[in-house]
Amino acid sequence: MAVFSKDHVQEQICTQGYVPLFFYSAVDANAQVAKACLEGGSRLIEFTNRGEGALELFASLVDSCRLLSPHLAVGAGSIIDADTAASFIAAGADFIVGPAMCEETLRCCEAAGVLYVPGCSTLNEILQAERLGVELIKVFPASCLGGVDYIKALLAPCPWLKLMATGGVSSEPEELARWFDAGVKAVGLGSNVISGVKIKAGDFDGIADSIRRVEKTIRNTHTD
């Protein structure tokens, strides 16, 4: 079960400003990725439900992370329904992230005291999610929807929204700064910081360095 409260995880996401996310199909490598993220400065990781055996891999990752640090929250991503969410919560998920809004998944997470961050693409979807009780909303796929300008357009009439941009978000310093200048609370970062190529090559130091660069950039540009 989760070891971090919903409020703690949401605050950590907004304070840290980014969530590194990945999927890989090897238990030992996944543990090394978690260690690299921790060494780079992240207190959050998201393991995506995007491959065969993802639930079992996630459960092993949770076990590894609990041994690594009492401060590392482990989330499950690409969750599209309540049954899947319940399975990952039972395996220890501290938060659940989805590509779309699902009210049944929200209620499942609420019952477990686990943060739910659904993906939304339009202002109508975002406001409907907010009415249902969602506080932090993933704008997905952010780059395809119009990128930074789209975030500005969403926040112009609704500046109170807490948005996390995910999908095609670059980890380059200038690009990251633009997202935060536009008003996002956080970004989701995938293969540009945790690439399958680096994992396969065992370049976990390279992953840690990528996380450190993101940390430095966001510390210089982002205020919660």
Q: How far apart are CA 211 and CA 3, in angstroms?
A: 24
Token pair listed for 104:
């049944």
pLDDT mean across residues, the chain: 97
Q: Please, what are the domains in the chain? A: 6-221 (3.20.20.70)
The confidence score (pLDDT) of residue 172 equals 95
Q: Which amino acid, residue 174?
A: E
Say whether 196 sits in a helix, a strand or coil: helix
pLDDT higher than 90, residue 2 = no
Give the H/E segment covering residue 215. helix 204-221
The confidence score (pLDDT) of residue 221 equals 84
The confidence score (pLDDT) of residue 144 equals 96
Band (213; pLDDT cuts 50, 70, 90): very high
Whether the upstream peptide bond of residue 99 has omega within 30° of 0, thus cis, is no
Q: How far apart are CA 59 and CA 55, in angstroms?
A: 6
Residues 146, 170 contacting (CB under 8 angstroms): no
